Amino acid sequence: MYKFLGLSPFLIAFACNILYAQDSTQRNGGTYFVQLATTALSTSDRTAFWLQTNQYGVIPSKPQGMLASAGVYYQVPLSRRSNRWRVDGAIEVMGQTNNPEFKGIITEGYLRLKYKKWELYGGRKREYVGLSDTLLGMGSMVSSTNALPIPQIRLGTYDFIPVLGRWLHMKAYLSHGWFENSRPFVQHAYLHQKGLYVRLGTKNWPVVLHAGVNHSVQWAGYAPAFKNDPGDMARYGYFEKSWLGYWGVFTGQSMANYAVANPGKVIVFDQNRIGNHLGTIDMALQWRPAAFDVFLYRQIMFEDGSLFYRLTTADSFNGIRWKSKMPSHAAFSLKQVTVEWLSTIDQGGEEFMDTDPKKRGRDNYFNNSQYQDGWTYFGRGIGTPFVTPDADLKTGVRRYSLGFSNNRVEVLHTGFAGTFKQNTSWEMKLSFSRNRGTYVQPYAKPLEQFSGILRVGTRLPWLKGGELSGAVAYDSGELYENTLGAYISLRKSGFF
């Protein structure tokens, strides 16, 4: 499904990951990154969970003999006198060899106009949504880094900007995107996303507060399975995509009053809200003494009206990150520890009564009656990877259905990172989950699963900008096939 027609393997015999620090620097010019890797070392026909998870969708679920790609990033100022206006862009491709088939993927490609910390871009660009740990964490509830970036046009800020002096800052964005047309149930669907985050505190305050909200909607599109439906779920297969529909998507408001005033003009299913709505309300506290940094965060998910009335619900994503600020000259050092807890088992309660807003439970996270492919992009969950698409489960657990057949989960996750001597870094992730299926099709008993990984990377002084890295991951439990797998990579970066 990602094939490049006529693309020779020799043209993409290297791999690239663009350095994320480029948004925070004013350096003009370009960077490149090349890489060769393999995930072929596996005891089963699947890639271990933490080897493929939260990699922006570029590591396939099947072991690969070679992963090879290449990419460049370039930035130029628009004025010789000022660096405020800039244009930048990136292109990155990856080749995957999984005999007898070869696949090529555009993993990132965008063109962006920047003014100070504002941006307008079009294309596929890696983003991280929400307040949580981006290095060792399990990923945000609704928009993690588990799937390929969705192509979109986006306007907003890429960093916090001052609103009131030095103590109140804001970050905001609005985007319109397109889901893949190869989805088995709904083609030509749109993505609507927006978010607003605020930060209270100056760089000298020992305690800084963060808060924000993000909102995503799947909407529009055509479902062939509904082609004979005159208005219950679709209008002969078509979902609402008018400007009125967009206003309903943007505001998230009920269309009931409009439906009463204009009988027959609103699909019955859309008389509540148009599209599949979901998002999180985020809160965080950062404590910054001289020797270390502590970051506490919490995300509360909403998917329909039920959770607006139950914001103290047990369903939430909580974490704490400790990070050392002190330099270490020891042979072995611990630089960061992250501990997280995720629960999605409540889902607004086990009762659903449309006439009582406080009993609109059984939310069935990431699934939807209209968008039955679920909250996925090219088969991968867009949200937390621990809410598992049916296709990822092992035989005997799978229901062979679209979307997610396991979305009621509890997860305890820990992460550790540090250094070894001067040139070597390491990180470890350990996750334990209890999985209950869904309210509609629960498992007979909770299924327990452990997944862990150890990564090590070392710089190669003889290859300027070179790094050799490797990882060993292990899955054991009742949800996935038991797997011991490894990853080996050689990459080089540089400037031009």
pLDDT in tens, 196-242: 999 999 988 999 999 999 999 999 999 999 999 988 888 899 999 98
Query: pLDDT tier at 390 (50, 70, 90 boundaries)?
Result: very high
- Asked if pLDDT for residue 269 goes beyond 90, the answer is no
The whole-angstrom separation of Cα 54 and Cα 455 is: 14
Minimum mean pLDDT among 13-27, 98-112, 206-220, 418-432: which range?
Answer: 13-27
What is d(CA 268, CA 136) in angstroms, rounded to the nearest whole number?
44
Sorting pLDDT into bands at 50, 70 and 90, what band is 103?
confident
299 Cβ neighbours under 8 A, 6+ residues apart: 130, 131, 132, 140, 141, 280, 281, 282, 316, 317, 318
In tens, the pLDDT along 61-75 reads 999 999 999 999 999
Contact (Cβ atoms closer than 8 angstroms) between residue 422 and residue 348: no
Question: Is this model's pTM higher than 0.85 or not?
Answer: yes
pLDDT, tens digit, for every residue of 127-160?
999 999 999 999 999 999 999 999 999 999 999 9
Q: What are the counts of helices (DSSP H) followed by strands (DSSP E) for the chain?
A: 4, 23
pLDDT higher than 80, residue 351: no
Cα–Cα nearest to 126, from 104, 106, 100: 106
How do the domains of the chain map onto residue ranges?
A: 29-239+275-495
pLDDT (tens digit per residue) in 173-184: 999 999 999 999
- Look-up of token digits 């089963």: 44
pLDDT at 164 over 90: no
The structure tokens 């005159």 sit at 230
Q: What is the pLDDT of residue 20?
A: 33
Q: CATH: 3.90.1750.10, 1.10.3720.10, 3.40.50.1110, 2.40.160.130. Which one for 29-239+275-495?
A: 2.40.160.130
Instruction: Give pLDDT, residue 307.
Output: 52
